[in-house]
Amino acid sequence: MGSGTSSLISVTTEISRIHNSTLQISPIKFNGTNYLPRSKACMISVRANKLVGYLTGTTTRPVKADDEEKWLSEDALVLSWLLHSIEPALNAQYMMMESAKDIWDAISRQYSQKNNYAQAYEIRKESREMSQRGLSVAAYYSNLSHLWQQLDAYSTHRPSIPTELITFQKDIEKERVYDFLAGLNPDYLQVRVQVLGRDPFPTLEEFYYLIQH
């Protein structure tokens, strides 16, 4: 079997594998208010299928007809994934777009900044009000960490001077230790006292380790 035939079989197998993938690439359907989590979920799924270049534009449309056919097929697949990850009420405005990147960029322009302040406020409020209650410490910490990661994604302030960045990160981490402490069950009152009396003040990971041990 020649090398050309082997390459053709390899390409055909890869395309077949991709086309057998589910059209539902994200468990979160885009509804106009959840741009950040939905775009993150889509990016992970598309990257896992080695097709992220169709979103970023790094996989450019080739000139050769044979290569172009493969590009059109894969781009159409990613485009279908994106359309299936959008609520039907918003879907129509993107149906006639030419490429997956066109859809990706259009949604980014329309929604990446929209509702950011409102979403960040709701997430911050939820993290401040969260408490352990019937959860294990691990589950409580996991839930808070998820909210903090979302807040980080919405943050627009990043000090450029290294010393200021370190101070900024330490202040953020201290605030998160406070939030974590405040939501723990009363059983951990003694641990709270110990942590707040420590010098230097423990990092979030150090505090979590103390709670677990």
DSSP per position, 182-197: HHS-GGGHHHHHHHHT
> What local confidence, expressed as pLDDT, does residue 5 receive?
52
Dist. CA 185–CA 132, nearest whole Å: 6
Q: What are phi and psi of 67, to 5 degrees?
A: -70, -35
Residue 115: which pLDDT band, with cuts at 50, 70 and 90?
A: low
**pTM higher than 0.85 for the full model?**
no
Q: What are phi and psi of 86, to 5 degrees?
A: -115, 140
98-113: pLDDT as tens digits: 999 999 999 998 887 7
Q: What are phi and psi of 26, to 5 degrees?
A: -135, 135
Dist. CA 167–CA 172, nearest whole Å: 9
73-90: pLDDT as tens digits: 999 999 999 999 999 999
Dist. CA 135–CA 137, nearest whole Å: 6
* Nearest alpha carbon to residue 180 among 209, 152, 157, 156: 209
